[in-house]
Structure 1
Amino acid sequence: MSIEAIVFDKDGTLFDFAATWEAWAEAFLLRATGQDRARAQAIGTEIGFDLAARRFAPDSVVIAGTPAEVADALERHFPQLTRPALIGMLNEEAELAPQIEAVPLAPFLDGLRAQGLRLGVATNDAEAPARAHLLAARVLDRFDFVAGFDSGHGAKPAPGPLLAFCAAVDVDPARALMVGDSTHDLHAGRAAGMSTLGVLTGMAGADELAPHADAVLPDIGHIPAWLATRG
């Protein structure tokens, strides 16, 4: 069955995960602790981030979690902040985080659109930072649909955001493809009845993604060749 629409995860899929979120974690932790590196290092362990090494643990909540889930892990350390204020600070720093494209996005996305494919983004980030990142990369207008965890469709691994994408572009989920770098993405795609592709520009390895994907690719740049094999 031919693919008519593709929905992408954002971080670790469209953008390199480590380059973006290691900078975000450092900036947030230092801001929230008043530049106290020792305290920031200690609190970073709550979200699986080693400030000194500038590296996430493979099971970090940041990798596939929502800002609300990150706030759950952090809020006891910042009693002076209300929960909305803490989530707001997380999102503010997310909007400022540098974005390194997994491949040059504009020509890649233009190539997919030239094939008549409808495109979307479903991220567990908040919608506002997601749109800011896509706008900064000058590709927001290539997408027919953008949803974050706070857009009203739920969060991955539940299928709600993916089903909302299919409804928005009027494509049967069986003719849609979910592309992501985490098992959350692939579980959501399978639950929605979509084909699924894993990519290795996030933190998960091929052995972790393969059981839940139709294929695992080095990065999204290999998608056109994969689509061609489907006839």
Structure 2
Amino acid sequence: MAGGRIRAVLFDKDGTLFDFDATWGAWAKARIEAMAEDPAHAQAMAEAIGFDLEITEFDPHSAVIAGTVEEAATLLLPHLPGRELSGLVEELEEAAREVPLVAPVPLAELLGGLKARGLRLGICTNDAESTARAHAERAGVSQMFDAIIGYDSGHGAKPTPRPLLAFADGLGIDPSEVVMVGDSLHDMNAARAAGMIAVAVLSGPAGRAELEPAADAVLDHIGGLPDWLTQSGR
């Protein structure tokens, strides 16, 4: 990886700022069971989204891990006759705003340290923008971010680079000066396509072997970012 100035850090949300299974496992189980008519119905919906009801974890290859709320709702809809996609999306988004948030490290301290370095910060998530803003607010860190971009913010969803480029353009920063931090291949591929530095974290379902070939660096979680920045002379 070539050296150069870093002026901004763009974070994925779920699996990155917040530990994926610790945050979404119990929530997904509760939502499925609330919508299900019986245990067999719950199991069918869980299988549709790649979720294990017994251990309350998503399969690493579940389509909803890096997908949008609409994609998750589309997978569930065949199991919910009489429901409309738009209504289901709205229901899931509303419920997601109240998910119990579990961060891998104290976020205010970490983000404050990055701001003290003079870095601009943002969130780019395949969740809805309103949900991302609600989560940042509940975590007490919304004021730390210069931009919060969701799949419905008008720039598309990852792995397209458009939302990442919108972040850089909005701040007047060259994409090569931005680190994209995420837990999925969607994040890494979007970063590559945008011309950004790709840093992966292991606080989501994907493992090191999957992420390493696509990333400039792989960290256990976002808590390792300050040391990585220092060691790479950024």
Short-chain TM bin: over 0.9
Question: Unaligned regions of 5+ residues in structure 2, if any?
Answer: none
Q: Does 1:129 align with 2:131?
A: yes
Indicate the residue corresponding to 1:66 in structure 2. 68
Question: Identity across aligned pairs (percent)?
Answer: 53
1:22 to 11, 25, 32: 25
Indicate the residue corresponding to 2:14 in structure 1. 11
Deviations 1:22-46 (A, max 9, x none): 1221122122225x33311221100
Question: Structure 2 CA distance, aligned partners of 1:152 and 1:28?
Answer: 28
Supply the RMSD in Å over aligned alpha carbons: 1.0
Q: Following TM superposition, by how much is the alpha carbon of 1:172 offset from its aligned partner in structure 2, in angstroms?
A: 0.4
Pairing of 1:15-54 with structure 2 (within 5 A): 15-33=18-36, 36-54=38-56
Q: Following TM superposition, by how much is the alpha carbon of 1:79 offset from its aligned partner in structure 2, in angstroms?
A: 2.1
Q: Which runs of 4+ in 1 moved over 2 A?
A: none
Q: TM-score, normalised by structure 1?
A: 0.97
Q: Following TM superposition, by how much is the alpha carbon of 1:10 offset from its aligned partner in structure 2, in angstroms?
A: 0.3
Question: Structure 2 CA distance, aligned partners of 1:85 and 1:32?
Answer: 13
Indicate the residue corresponding to 1:173 in structure 2. 175
The answer to whether the 8 Å contact 2:104/2:203 transfers is yes
1:150 to 143, 149, 152: 152
Pairing of 1:92-103 with structure 2 (within 5 A): 92-103=94-105
Q: Following TM superposition, by how much is the alpha carbon of 1:53 offset from its aligned partner in structure 2, in angstroms?
A: 2.5
Question: Structure 2 CA distance, aligned partners of 1:121 and 1:57?
Answer: 24
Indicate the residue corresponding to 2:161 in structure 1. 159
SS of 1:124's equivalent in the other structure is coil
The answer to whether the 8 Å contact 1:2/1:230 transfers is no
Q: Following TM superposition, by how much is the alpha carbon of 1:97 offset from its aligned partner in structure 2, in angstroms?
A: 1.1
SS of 1:101's equivalent in the other structure is coil
The answer to whether the 8 Å contact 2:44/2:79 transfers is no
